[in-house]
Amino acid sequence: MTRGLPASRTGPTHPVADPSADVHEGRDGWLFLTWGTNSVLAQYGRPGLPRRLFWRWRRIIADRVRACARLGATYVHVVAPEKLTVYGDRAPDLSVERARAPVRRLARWLTASRGARAFVDLDAAFRAVRDGPPLYLRTDSHWTLLGSEVAYRAILSRMGVAPRDDVEARRTGGAVPFSGDLGRKFEPNRFELAPVTTFATGARRVFANDLLTELEAQGRGIEAHLGAHAVFRNDDPKADPRRLVIFGDSFCQHTSYSPVATLTALMADTFAEVHFLWSTSIDWPYLERVRPDFVLGEIAERFMIDPPPRGFRIERLAELARARKTLTDGSRPPPDAPASAPGAAGAGPR
């Protein structure tokens, strides 16, 4: 079987005989996602992502800036860089044109656009400190605690909000054995020691949608992805009194108990109220009800290849995700349920 996207979209596809063939092992046990459903490595090549895609993203971000301004909110857009974009030199056997990384090309395409000021260049922020302690886990495609803190500070700087500087002093636990999403593709699994990311905070979850609570009740909370929806409140007097709504993916998350994806937890520790919707689509009626001060749109770099459809509602997305989870359990889905949710192969709808 051949995996990957059509050559017309991202370059040549890659035949994969086993899951670990999607992953490249670089120096010192560093694992990199190279293929998979989004043909990651081909996105760095030529032609790579087509020019029309960057025009579309340029319009999407500018439209979001304008629409949020009409609601009295500030829109901020961030792309979570691939590990290959930041640490590609640790995989010397790969031919990676990091200058053609999608996030770097997007930064150039946004020049002089209305969305330029909304864009937080995490790639530049990470490159500035990449020679220090690791920003990504070795066996995972996601950030370390330090990586999420660098992203957190860069985003807050664009918002003009002061970060909390006492998180490390409030962190609980040390390090735990951990096998990430890349390490689990090998047999036996590859492990590393990863820092525990939980910390004492005044933030409390005050709402979770049925998709999230049902999976948690089954002990499967970690499977709550696309369509998950949670709201946090923080009565700490040090918290910024404003409201933030995040539309994002696994780099944000709805929990802080994993060694990865602590961005939402850091934001909930900072603001009086944070809403997280696992979707890269903006639910405009939701924003009209909530009336946030800030809206953060986050998407993983490899998922930029699939710009999400406009204005997908979180309730409908959760319904589609629940139908897909039911299929995975071996049960019959509702008669009108589609085979998969929009954007299920990537990070979700726009």
Q: HEC string of the chain? A: CEECCCHHHHCCCEECCCHHHHEEECHHHCEEECCHHHCCHHHHCCCCCCHHHHHHHHHHHHHHHHHHHHCCCEEEEEEECCHHHHHHHHCCCCCCCHHHCHHHHHHHHCCCCCCHHHEECHHHHHHCCCCCCCCECCCCCCECHHHHHHHHHHHHHHHCCCCCCCHHHHECCCEEEECCCCHHHCCCCCCEEEECCCECCCEEEEEECHHHHHHHHCCCHHHCCCCCEEEEEECCCCCEEEEEEEEECCCCCCCCCCCCCCHHHHHHHHEEEEEEEECCCCCHHHHHHHCCCEEEEEEEHHHHHCCCCCCCCHHHHHHHHHHHHHHHCCCCCCCCCCCCCCCCCCCCCC
What average pLDDT does the segment 324-338 reach? 49
148 pLDDT above the threshold of 90: yes
pLDDT tens digits along 260-305: 778 999 999 999 999 999 998 999 999 999 999 999 999 999 999 9
328 pLDDT above the threshold of 60: no
42 pLDDT above the threshold of 70: yes
pLDDT tens digits along 85-101: 999 999 999 988 889 99
What average pLDDT does the segment 34-50 reach? 92
How high is the mean pLDDT of the chain? 87
Q: Is the pTM of this model over 0.95?
A: no
Give the pLDDT confidence score for residue 18 in this predicted structure: 61
pLDDT band at 123 (very low <50, low <70, confident <90, very high): very high
Top pLDDT among 193 and 3 is at 193
pLDDT tens digits along 10-37: 344 444 446 568 999 999 999 999 998 8
Q: Report which listed range, 127-141, 245-259, 297-311, is most confident.
A: 127-141
Domain boundaries, the chain: 50-177+192-328
345 pLDDT above the threshold of 90: no
